[in-house]
Structure 1
Amino acid sequence: MAMQKWWWWASKRVWNRNYCMTSGVARERVECVVIGAGVVGLCVARELALRGRQVLVLDSAPTFGTGTSSRNSEVIHAGIYYPPNSLKAIFCVRGRQLLYQYCSERQVPHKQIGKLIVATGSSEIHKLHYLMDCGIQNGVDGLVMMEGSQAMRIEPELRCSKALLSPVSGIVDTHSFMLSLVGDAENCGTIFSYNTAVIGGHVEQDQLCLHVSQTKHLEMCNGTSPLQPEMVLIPKLVVNSAGLSAPALAKRFDGLHSALIPTPHYARGCYFTLSNTQICPFKHLIYPVPEDGGLGVHVTLDLNGQLKFGPNVEWIDGIDDVSSFLNKFDYSVCISHMKLFYHEIKKYYPNLKDGSLEPGYAGIRPKLSGPRQSPVDFVIQGEDIHGITGLVNLFGIESPGLTSSMAIAEHIAINFFRC
């Protein structure tokens, strides 16, 4: 069955079998619904399907991975930056192991190239020691503290006072990874319905009923009147993996207490690529010490050898629900940021030539903390917190979400499905 035809198939099936109707809207019972076909949603769908569950994946976009999953650094993180015993630390370390294993078995392009986190001044050295302590407590193997001279021997273009080497960090072709996940899920019977938006829901007999509409109708919504669902789905398990729109969607679940839904914050990050060079200046990922809201303007290599710098942090607001559901964020790369990029990059790469940066792409981080606030952990919210049977909300799945994706899926499949 073609994935794009699910909507037609489900509508015909419901009407022909004369399912119970409420206010003229067809209703259909399903086993598992995953909302969002980003990398985490795909991992969850695959994991549930491998365990014999019937899975339906809904996404308002025309295909998978159009949001944060396709607009990131494509880095496999080690697990250094996150407080010990946090979900970010636990899932990053476990997820890294699962991701490397999966990519090796499925021949998904990836490379364990290692990372250097660098201090460019003496005032930053204590931060490196803090990161090393965190990494050791989190179970990250192979961390080495290096003097600047040692780091610069293995990376001659680098300038730093001291560096922390993480040999288990790497890069992955995210699109190939997601494509492989889709194939696995489909082979186990998962149905994907793109151009299909979940616009809300209500609790009925202790179950969450999802309100579903075709994306084209959501796009025509003028915001003056509530959008009526075209179908109501009644799943045993719902995983809200909607990424940037997960909190906005949860607010539309009638029966879910609003106080349990964290306030979303959005941080845009731009990337610039290095042009006019035939030889890549670096072999490792190069990261400065972390900054407010992110990990700093760092050096990332892709599997084709293209060097890119980013992302920066630009806080944005004023995002309404419908725009969030439709991923109508501003992904333009502002040329005015280029001057700041040169300033930040030259702290550790002083030989960067003026005029050698070109605009790349931008992404949005789905954060739960705002400017000058301490970072917040992943939120994986189940019935024990909100009291709704079978609902799992995933909030704030920012970096290291890609690295953690398979571990998050494993956790959900083990802990949240009830037969």
Structure 2
Amino acid sequence: MSDFRLVGAEVLRADGFSDAPLSIADGLIVAEGGREVDLNGFLVLPGIVDLHGDGFERHLAPRRGAIKDLAPGLVATDAELAANGITTAVLAQFWSWEGGMRGPAFARRFLSALDAAEAIGTDMLVQLRLETHMLEDYGAFEEAVTEHDVPYVVFNDHLPHAALAKGKRPPRLTGQALKAGRNPEAHEALLKAMHARRDEVPEAITRLAGRLAARGVRLGSHDDATQSDRLDWRKRGATISEFPETREAAETARSGGDAIVLGAPNVVRGNSHKGNVSAGELVEEGLCDALASDYHYPAMKQAVLRLVSDGVVSLQDGWALVSSKPAQVLGLVDRGDLAIGKRADIVVIEPSTGRVGATISSGRFSFLTGEVATRFIG
């Protein structure tokens, strides 16, 4: 990519919007130089940093069993991320008893494919999501984190404990079993065995979390429901609270200085699809450090625009929830804002429609279309 000097646009910098030129050279934001491009009428914003997204699953395996070469799926994921202004994407990959695309075998394939990926514009990082009751898998999981230099681990527990405790057949068991490649009886037996060892989990997960943290891995919890949940995870070093289900859990995270990540689709919908606390309300109350795409990449930009339209935040403060603040949560000090010396991670947006006209990742186009393309190409 050639070096550019973007002029005429409203550029969002750390101290607010300015129409001063923005220059790009050698993949970085620089003080001066480059071919002049007139972007009058457009907004130039920091590239979106998505801390948790599993929308890539539909690209890697659109149907059950259609999991062959993962490379084309990663290229398709890259294209969707770029079209939505995302320049850094944390791909949230399960390590779960659910099997299929969420099982350990697929997780290893996914990690290897991402390590080998070529011609990818978006900076794709990995979050591995460990199901905490898979005690027999802890060693293999830890080896995978080390081998693939995974920077972020989140702990989940999706076992249907309520049904198992009552001796009832868990909901959706047959479908889950087919997805995992097991017969329903074997799948139910596995769930019961993991549930039976639940008292061993707290101590085991504390030891595992300690070893991962010692390697510099960032740790998070998922779906905190109570004050006790959040306090327990904080003691283990999991200082990122993803998608807290209640205001109580979010307030506990805030009081302890933990990072709070909320789902952008929840904001776009106006409520949680599971009946949990409204993410929009938590943002309004200051109980949010970052929005994440969760299962829908377009929701990142849409959520900010909805919050601005509803008068909850300014565009500057709202955009920080998808750029500078998530970068801070993951310790990505080289991106998140358009300061000199930072990565040239940029999204150009048409204010009247909210459409992305260009996405630039580390100084290279990952998406370019419409009038913005005409301005750059001439």
* TM-score, structure 1 normalization: 0.27
Q: Which has the higher helix share?
A: 2
RCO comparison, higher one (Cα < 8 Å, 6+): 1
* TM-score, structure 2 normalization: 0.29
